[in-house]
Amino acid sequence: MHEFNSWTEINWYALGSLLAQFAFLAAGIWFARNILRTVRAFLEQVGALLKLSITGNPSEPHAASAHSARSFAETSPYWLAPNEPQPDSPAQPVKTGPGAWRRMVLWLNEPMRTAEVSAWRRAINWLQAPSGS
């Protein structure tokens, strides 16, 4: 028993560090479990809302035949019907005349900012200036 006491007296810092590491590990696991539990509850709520938005109002009674006859587009205002396929036609090239190129060159030649010194730059210059001036 005396050997263990002398070992703890010599290595008290390492033992305290080990206990602190175990405490941080336990706290990390506890926080991770709480976060995962919260995320799982959030996903369940999103799934329930998605199910409600697709199937419609749960308070109205649905008959089996009436429910199977309705499409998703009729039951939910958020459901988008697929677009009709367009017939294959050759793509028309976009016509850009010299006016479009000219406007782009003019836009690129414009200065990107004004010649006025910004407020933060004035504040930095004021802070860097000697106090006597």
The tens digit of pLDDT for each residue in 70-93 reads 555 566 666 666 667 766 666 676
In a domain, 20, yes or no: yes
In sequence order, what are the residues at sequence separation of 6 or more whose Cβ sits closer than 8 angstroms to the Cβ of residue 79? 54, 72, 73
In a domain, 92, yes or no: no
Q: Which of 56, 50, 85 is nearest to 72 (CA)?
A: 56
In a domain, 6, yes or no: yes
In a domain, 90, yes or no: no
Task: Tell which wins on pLDDT, 8 or 36.
Answer: 36
In a domain, 26, yes or no: yes
Coil, strand or helix: which one is 61?
coil
> How confident is the model at residue 69, as a pLDDT?
46
> How confident is the model at residue 24, as a pLDDT?
97
Average pLDDT over residues 96-115: 76
The total of structural domains in the chain comes to: 1
Please give the structure tokens belonging to residue 36: 């995962």
In a domain, 100, yes or no: no
Q: Which of 79, 85, 25 is nearest to 50 (CA)?
A: 79
In a domain, 91, yes or no: no
CA distance linking residue 27 with residue 44, whole number of Å? 26
The domain of 25 spans 1-58+74-81
Residue 17 has pLDDT above 60, yes or no: yes
In a domain, 126, yes or no: no
CA distance linking residue 80 with residue 68, whole number of Å? 18
> How confident is the model at residue 65, as a pLDDT?
46
Q: Model pTM?
A: 0.35
> How confident is the model at residue 55, as a pLDDT?
78
Query: Length of the chain in residues, anyone?
Result: 133
**% pLDDT > 70, the chain:** 62
